[in-house]
Amino acid sequence: MPKNKTHSGAKKRLRLTGTGKVMRERAGRRHLFEGKSSRVTRRLAGDVEVAGADAKRARRLLGK
């Protein structure tokens, strides 16, 4: 029986926590910081949980 391959785009963007939540980074924290306030860049720091509607699909892409 062939094995399922992990989606290489998903594994670069998403990760699973020990409790099974799918985490992602917020968009907008790569470049062009001079146009963004410090408040915005602080708010964009840290990972957040993937929306529930997308979590099932994300878990399948990660092969879990």
58 pLDDT exceeds 90?
Answer: yes
Q: Look up the CATH number of the domain holding residue 17.
A: 4.10.410.60
CB 26 within 8 A of CB 54: no
Q: Does residue 45 sit within a domain? A: yes
Q: Does residue 2 sit within a domain? A: no
Q: Does residue 15 sit within a domain? A: yes
pTM of the predicted model as reported, rounded to 2 decimal places? 0.84
Tell me how many domains the chain contains.
1
Q: Does residue 3 sit within a domain? A: no
Q: How many other C-beta atoms are found inside a 10 Å radius of the C-beta of residue 49?
A: 11
Span 16-41, pLDDT tens digits: 999 999 999 999 999 999 999 999 99
Range of the domain at 41: 8-62
Residue 60: name the closest of 18, 22, 28, 12 by CA.
22
Average pLDDT over every residue of 45-51: 96
